[in-house]
Amino acid sequence: MKKVVAILVVALGFALNGNAQDKMMKDNVKTIALEQTPGEFTQKSVTVSEGTYVFEVSNNHVGKDVGLVLVPKGKDASKPENHIQTAYVTSVVKDGTVETSKATKLTKGEYVYFCPLNPTPQYTLSVQ
């Protein structure tokens, strides 16, 4: 019986530690808010520090669904294998709504972002 109790205490300790780590991870995630209007993002460039971010994309009456693609600068943006897939919004952004991406770790360098559904130019995201 003592063995069972000891195993349960250890398992509970790991579970609580995991929850604490998840909370710390969520607390360190910042948000990059991007707004789309017909044919463009209103933010023409963004500069942030290294870290983990969630992209929050709003559809300000574009009249169709929108999304987000993020690619390291210099890579061919037309090739999906170059896209940073965690930066995709988890569902298309319907007219007048907001959707978010998964947490995305950004390291120093330059990236480009754009929307292929509401064709926009490529804009620069700088990470310092």
What b/e sequence results for 73-110 when a residue is b if at least 16 CB atoms lie within 10 Å of its CB, and e otherwise? eeeebeeeeebbebbbbeeebeeeeebbbebbebeeee
Structure confidence at residue 64 (pLDDT): 96
9 sits in which H/E element: helix 2-27
Structure confidence at residue 45 (pLDDT): 97
User: What domains are defined for the chain?
Assistant: 29-127 (2.60.40.420)
pLDDT per residue, tens digit, the chain (128 aa), is: 555 444 434 444 444 454 444 444 556 999 999 999 999 999 999 999 999 999 999 999 999 999 999 999 999 999 999 999 999 999 999 999 999 999 999 999 999 999 999 999 999 999 99
